[in-house]
Chain A
């Protein structure tokens, strides 16, 4: 029973990581799919969201304002970057896009240090959500439960927007064949800007939600970005559905693997070896998963073309 409760709690933690990754992946997969643009600087929006939230909370003591600052701030940042720099790179070689956004990562990471200092910032869990709830008799932080609910709600809203609304239809069509969509009279430049800004805002939201559970520091975006890339490749580029399932799978496998693989190793191997090999192999799990999926389905689990 104890083990069962532990498993359920880790499953929830995995789900929580999964929805955070989905917020990152949903915007980025559309940027990849529609604009054919490799944006490695997406993790910087995650970082900026967390910074905006922490700084605003420190100044106003209001979590609501902090949330608004994180989301609106990253949307504005996304707009500025997209219009100012990146939109001129959409037609360029992938290599140039990679280089340019790699440079942007370095710039962002240094800028936050220059503006907010070298020390990590912290954001407390809002008062209302600081309690715990009981899951199978074990306490579970209310905040994490709230993150799961917010993440699933955003996923549902995105699903409705993408699959039931005209703008979503255009976005899906854009991911399928951007040239044809623009030939049909849709202002694809504006659509691109919209998608980019919404993606930046979602990344900012992910940064806001993750902020109370981590230290806010320069460079925090890149590990999340690389996990997000794994999610997108696993799910299939350009597919929101793929991003959702990919994120949940990656989140749960990563969390469960880290929690239970070392334990499982302990029972079949000498403890000294298990202690060092367990965590190492647990951290490899999602990459192995990605490798296996790509070996059989190079387009990912839910490629755009098959879904239409």
Chain B
């Protein structure tokens, strides 16, 4: 029964997302396709982080790093003349894999508070590396001449790009569902609850955690690949600490430890940001201009509120039960 509720909610949400371009076409405002492409990309990254944070109990404050690796693999290669998306994606995944194994091995020597701080510090290190890439825009970033060639998907059409990202998101969700119900998934959740006990049961907890870390990093690399293609722009701002923070907000807001939660979280957070930065709010006086200029103030208050009051996440509220441990 419980499984059915989850399955129905997941299907409803994904079906709703699949209808977005149709609805946007109907009201004649294709801007919504771009907005929801962004939502899907952050949902994908959130789903990746959720594997680590929600299921593994490891709070990474540095996952913007992997989004940026995906984005920069598009940026650097396409500026160097390699426009094949498959090559760019493979390079990004390979590099992201190596980096996440090294960083994961170091970070996983620590737990709790130190883990949070080190993941943040490593992301900041790559921020400076990105700023130092003078050939690839340095501080300013680079605009891409065109989107990647990813046959058979023609990413130059916004709607094709949208459905490509949605397809990847569904595939990742399906894959994670399979992985999490496997022996590995149970070992990961067991390690979150009690590492010592799992180790005495004979599980190599470090390896389980490292695999989860690398998998979640790779999902974020894929999100970064699409982010660069959507915006046709890559800059160090993608690895800014606040992006890592927003990814955590997406996971917690949506509901930790539920696969579809981060998708809801991304829909809510990105829509809210869009509303605050450029939405028509019809506030009295110069209220609209004030909110548009200082939208981060309201976002900050919102995040504090989420942290204090929204324990179960949106998913928990909608489905009306506590999220799975």
Nearest-neighbour CB distance to chain B for A32, whole angstroms, equals 6
* Residue numbers in B under 8 Å from A237 (CB-CB): 113-114
Please tell me if the beta carbons of A103 and B116 are within 8 angstroms of each other in the complex.
no
Q: Which of A106, A230, A233, A290 has the most CB of B within 10 A?
A: A106
Q: Is the CB of A229 within 8 A of B120?
A: yes
Interface of chain B residues 278 through 325 with chain A (CB within 8 A): 294, 296-297, 299-308
CA distance A187 to B276 in the complex (A): 44
Q: In the complex, what distance in Å separates the CA atom of A94 from the CA atom of B115?
A: 11
Q: Is the CB of B297 within 8 A of A111?
A: yes
Q: How many A-B residue pairs have CB under 8 A?
A: 127
Kindly specify which of B75-83, B124-132, B223-231 makes contact with the partner chain. Answer: B124-132
Question: Does B5 sit at the interface, judged by CB under 8 A?
Answer: no
Asked if A94 and B113 sit within 8 Å, CB to CB, the answer is yes
CB-CB < 8 A to A89: which residues of B?
Answer: 308
Task: Indicate the member of A36, A107, A237 with the most B CB atoms within 10 Å.
Answer: A107
What distance in Å separates the Cβ of B121 from its nearest Cβ neighbour in chain A? 5
Whether B66 is near chain A, meaning CB under 8 Å from some CB there, is no
- How many angstroms from the CA of A276 to the CA of B133 in the assembled complex? 7
Instruction: Give A229 to B302 CA distance when docked, in angstroms.
Output: 26
**CB-CB < 8 A to A4: which residues of B?**
none
Min CB gap B250→A, angstroms = 11
Asked if A98 contacts B301 (CB within 8 A), the reply is no
The tally of residues in B whose CB lies under 8 Å from a CB in A reads 43
Closest to A291 in B: B106
- How close is B44's CB to chain A, nearest CB, in angstroms? 21
Report how far A32 CA is from B110 CA in the complex, Å: 15
Contacts of B120 in A (CB 8 A): 226, 229
Q: Assess whether A280 is interfacial by the CB under 8 Å rule.
A: yes
Bound form: Cα–Cα A232–B114 in Å: 9
Given contacts A110-B297, A290-B118, contact A284 B125 (CB under 8 A): yes
Chain A residues, Cβ within 8 Å of B128 = 280, 283-284
| Bound complex: CA A298 to CA B117 (Å) | 13
B contact patch SS? helix
B129 touches A284 (CB 8 A): yes
Stretch at the interface among B20-28, B170-178, B189-197, B241-249: B241-249
> Which among B113, B121, B245 is the interface contact of A102 at CB below 8 angstroms?
B245
A: contact size bracket: 35 or more
Q: Are B307 and A100 in contact (CB under 8 A)?
A: yes
Complex interface: chain A residues within 8 A of B304 (CB): 85, 99-100, 103-104, 107
Q: How far is the CB of A258 from chain B (nearest CB, A)?
A: 11
- Chain A nearest Cβ from B66, distance in angstroms: 16
Contact status B132-A276, CB under 8 Å: yes
A114 B294 Cβ-Cβ under 8 A:
yes
Contact residue among A38, A105, A287, A295 (Cβ-Cβ distance under 8 Å from B125): A287
CA distance A206 to B301 in the complex (A): 27
- Indicate if the CB atoms of A95 and B300 lie closer than 8 Å: no
Any A CB within 8 A of the CB of B59: yes
A107 and B241 contact, Cβ closer than 8 Å, known pairs A99-B252, A284-B128? no
A106 with B299, Cβ < 8 A, contacts A98-B116, A99-B249 known: yes
B245: nearest chain-A partner, CB-CB: A102
Tell me the complex Cα distance, A219–B64, Å: 18
**In the complex, which residue of chain A has the Cβ closest to the Cβ of B295?**
A110
Q: Which of B108-167 contact A (CB under 8 A)?
A: 109-110, 112-114, 116-118, 120-122, 124-125, 128-129, 131-135
CB pair B109–A295 under 8 Å, yes or no, is yes
9 contacts between A and B (CB under 8 A): A102-B248, A103-B307, A105-B300, A109-B296, A229-B120, A233-B121, A283-B131, A284-B125, A294-B110
Residues of B within 8 A of A (CB): 53, 59, 61, 106, 109-110, 112-114, 116-118, 120-122, 124-125, 128-129, 131-135, 241-242, 245, 248-249, 252, 294, 296-297, 299-308
Report A's interface with B, CB cutoff 8 A.
Answer: 32, 36, 38, 85, 89, 94-96, 98-100, 102-107, 109-111, 113-114, 222-223, 226, 229-230, 232-233, 237, 275-277, 279-280, 283-284, 287-288, 290-291, 294-295, 298
